Structure 1
Amino acid sequence: MKHPLCLLYRLGCALFAANLPMASLSASNNLDDQEGDWAQKRANAVISLMTFSVVPDITASNLDIGSSTGQSSALNMGQLGGGATLSEAVPIYLEGALGYSRYDPQFVISNGAESRTIPTKWNSLTASGGIGWDVTLRKDPRGGHWVLRPIANVSLGTMASDLRIGNWLLDRTKGYSLDFLDGGQLNMYGLGGSLMLDYELFSPAQDIDAELRYSYQHLQSFGGTSTSVRGHAEAENLGLYLRRRAPLFHWTLLDRPVRYVLEGAHTAYLGEQRGLLGFDSLNSIGAGLELDSSKYDIIVTRTRLVARYMFSHNTSGYSIGLAMSF
């Protein structure tokens, strides 16, 4: 049983609309506990954005979110990752993913007499990995395998603000800790696990892959993080992925059949992730072609190009993904 390393490179533009309003800061008539509560919510929100990058997810592997209003906060996400079982004799499953996101929130800063909108830019990088074990449940007469796969996951990430807000803000917003906005940094680690039910069928007539996966990680800031954004968040979702590959007519290339690819995915966000980006779930349908190069002595055995359409409540978009099997 072999899983592809999926290289998801954004060639299209996702056209998502979400409710991502500007944040506001006022330096007048605020108590210390209100300030602390505001700072804690901001810290948790910063880490919450990283939850979408630490769990392998076809539907959220490439998002570009904005709003048509003047108070938009653009959000762009991308993910590169994959997983594989070593062999049937050694059923150890390994997976890994790299994620990137850029979020451009705007803060309304006021000192009581005047206000100013401060556009900020937050960039994050995450790396996550997992190790699991395949427990074979059943092999059907057609050659398909049912596998239950528990996975232990770990992740590391960092988010930095690349804005220097200057003395005007620092001098006029006494009582607020703005060290993160002023070129600060947040470092995060995550621990958790996943449970996957996987069905795989490989045959000359068709390949079928179906996965049902529950994932959970607790993300926590740690050393080197700016004081104002020390916080935590939970990444939790339930995903379903389906894919069918079969020969396209009698076409051949590289002495192997050219295959069409059909796929579908649904991710339901749970807990803190639910509604965070303006929707509770994401759906994806895709179609593409697969080139088989297994006859030749090269590391890449199959290459797939898949166009995807993504949609949800008041949400739609598209992307193009490139995947390779080794």
Structure 2
Amino acid sequence: MKQALLLATLACLVVPLAASAQDRPILDVVQANLQRRANGMLALMGYSQTPDVTSGSLSIKNPGTDDPSFNNSSIGGGFTISKSVPIYLEGTLGYARYDPSFVATNGEQAQSLPTRWDSEIATAGIGWDFHLTDRLVLRPIINGSYGRVESEVKVSGQVVVNNTNVDVDFLAHGRLDAAGIGGSLMLDYQDYRPTHEVDVELRYTNIRLHSTNDSSPPVQGSSRNENVGLWARWRAPIGWHAFDRPVRYVLEFAHTTYLGQDADVLGFNHLTSLGAGLELDTSQYHPLWIYRARAVVRYVFGQNVKGVSLGLAVSFD
């Protein structure tokens, strides 16, 4: 992972140590570095702010290096109420865990201080469908987000905290709340026929996050989630039947480019996803409410990252 990750977001914190009267080290927190960390924490939330198949399930590890791991999971979706009431509603819930390690040193000896950062974020959006043609819709959306990051020192690093007499409160058990507002602009193309179904979405998103009632006064942060995403899906009958309806195969493509100052927070500025799967149509059984269910296996790749994920989705009647 790029060295910019360590410098710009969660760089190893080098702090001076001095002997106290009891020969215990004193830990100073460099606030400039904490500021970068606070911005980095909020930037990581951007991967869970909107429905996005490329980052909806993301796990990054670099075995054999000092780079910490990052895990992100989210669930979300959107729908238009009806053609006569063209109000669009969407929502996303996301959880992420990041495990940075700080370093305390007196120039001769170094002590690792591993921490665990957990974050949750919820984003809601409301928009309006403007029909440019029978199949093409222009959809402006207003988005609002609220999230929280909590920091906890792991057991192995608690010795360092217990042997220092300077405030490391945020690293040990701090909390950072954040809120933000922004918007998205989407072009949505739908072409549904008996032989095949095509969905294409082109979306631009720009949401600004800033800290609100953080529990540690020196820690305040802000970030801007700005990205452009293209998503396309092709569905067609495969020749099989289940639930008295045709079974469809699904082909999917998605690409997201991250823009702005936080684009490279994890060492990449774009992700691409290729997917294939099957879809069941349960519309004959109305009491189920779910009229379609899909399972899609995706191969995701980008700068310095690659992996495989399984996506499950349902459509409600």
User: How many pairs are equivalent?
Assistant: 298
The answer to whether residue 231 in structure 2 is matched with residue 241 in structure 1 is: yes
CA distance in 2, matches of 1:169, 1:163: 8
Mapping of residues 202-221 of structure 1, within 5 Å? 202-221=192-211
Q: CA deviation at 1:28?
A: 5.5
Q: CA deviation at 1:114?
A: 3.4
1:316 counterpart residue number:
306
Deviations 1:64-84 (A, max 9, x none): 101133313010000100000
SS at match of 2:42: helix
SS at match of 2:161: helix
Task: Tell me, yes or no, if the aligned pair for 1:122 and 1:159 is still in contact at 8 Å.
Answer: yes
CA distance in 2, matches of 1:170, 1:25: 18
Mapping of residues 49-68 of structure 1, within 5 Å? 49-68=44-63
CA distance in 1, matches of 2:270, 2:52: 12
Q: CA deviation at 1:36?
A: 3.1
Instruction: Choose from 57, 72, 75 the match for 2:70.
Output: 75
1:191 counterpart residue number:
181
**Structure 2 counterpart of 1:257, which letter?**
P
The answer to whether residue 230 in structure 2 is matched with residue 223 in structure 1 is: no
1:9 counterpart residue number:
none
Q: CA deviation at 1:203?
A: 1.9
1:281 counterpart residue number:
270
Task: Tell me, yes or no, if the aligned pair for 1:218 and 1:235 is still in contact at 8 Å.
Answer: yes
Q: CA deviation at 1:313?
A: 2.3
Mapping of residues 1-326 of structure 1, within 5 Å? 20-21=5-6, 23-27=12-16, 35-112=30-107, 114-139=109-134, 145-163=135-153, 166=158, 168-169=160-161, 172=164, 174=166, 177-248=167-238, 250-297=239-286, 298-326=288-316
CA distance in 1, matches of 2:82, 2:201: 18
CA distance in 2, matches of 1:78, 1:53: 7
Deviations 1:254-298 (A, max 9, x none): 110000000000000000232211111000000000000001122
2:21 counterpart residue number:
none
CA distance in 2, matches of 1:225, 1:206: 53
Structure 1 gaps of 5+ residues are 1-16, 140-144
Q: CA deviation at 1:227?
A: 2.2
In terms of mean alpha carbon deviation, does 47-56 or 288-297 score higher? 47-56
CA distance in 2, matches of 1:217, 1:73: 26
Q: CA deviation at 1:230?
A: 1.2
Task: Tell me, yes or no, if the aligned pair for 1:18 and 1:66 is still in contact at 8 Å.
Answer: no
Deviations 1:128-176 (A, max 9, x none): 100000000012xxxxx100000000011111113265474365474xx
Distance 1:91 1:133, change over 3 A: same
Superposition TM-score, scaled by structure 2 size: 0.89
CA distance in 2, matches of 1:50, 1:120: 18
CA distance in 2, matches of 1:302, 1:91: 22
Identity of aligned residues (%): 45
Q: CA deviation at 1:39?
A: 2.2
Q: CA deviation at 1:113?
A: 5.4
Divergent runs of 4+, >3 A: 17-22, 111-114, 164-174
2:26 counterpart residue number:
none
Task: Tell me, yes or no, if the aligned pair for 2:161 and 2:172 is still in contact at 8 Å.
Answer: no
SS at match of 1:228: coil
CA distance in 2, matches of 1:80, 1:179: 32
CA distance in 1, matches of 2:220, 2:303: 32
**Structure 2 counterpart of 1:88, which letter?**
K
CA distance in 1, matches of 2:121, 2:259: 21
Structure 2 gaps of 5+ residues are 19-28
Superposition TM-score, scaled by structure 1 size: 0.86
Deviations 1:189-225 (A, max 9, x none): 1110000001011221111100000001100111143
